[in-house]
Amino acid sequence: GESVGLHLPTLSVQEGDNSIINCAYSNSASDYFIWYKQESGKGPQFIIDIRSNMDKRQGQRVTVLLNKTVKHLSLQIAATQPGDSAVYFCAENKQAGTALIFGKGTTLSVSS
């Protein structure tokens, strides 16, 4: 079946740097994408989402970019902090009302 994948399983950055986490998706029919953050011992938590009719959306310190031409999604975290250390998952929704399909996750490690 189709799946959402991440380019790198791990990413290590220094505190204060900007982080970019990438995700490639295969289903061109997907109309909605979400980024989740999972801290150790917790369930995934919603960070930010974007619809397929947009190419950029900004939140607090986070920006999601969507490139439908190459089916690529990225999460940018500005001024990364130790509290940003977690596993980040991208997820896609092929159509409204269906279950989300998740990628394999990228572990972000922030050193101070």
Partner 1 sequence: DVKVTQSSRYLVKRTGEKVFLECVQDMDHENMFWYRQDPGLGLRLIYFSYDVKMKEKGDIPEGYSVSREKKERFSLILESASTNQTSMYLCASRPQGPGANVLTFGAGSRLTVL
Binding site for partner 1 (CB under 8 A): 1, 9, 32, 34, 36, 41-46, 49, 89, 91, 93, 96-97, 99-105
How many beta carbons lie within 10 A of that of residue 95, not counting itself?
10
Instruction: Find the helix or strand (DSSP H, E) in which 58 lies.
Output: strand 56-58
In whole angstroms, the minimum distance from the beta carbon of 90 to partner 1 comes to: 9
Closest contact distance (angstroms) between CB of 22 and partner 1 is 15
The nearer residue to partner 1, 9 or 16, going by C-beta atoms, is 9
Smallest gap from residue 34 Cβ to partner 1 (A): 6
Comparison of 15 and 49: residue with beta carbon closer to partner 1: 49
Q: How far is the CB of 70 from partner 1 (least distance, A)?
A: 21
b/e sequence 48-62, b meaning 16+ C-beta within 10 Å = bbbeeeeeeeeeeeb
Question: What are the CA-CA distances from residue 90 to residues 70, 83, 111 (Å)?
Answer: 16, 19, 23
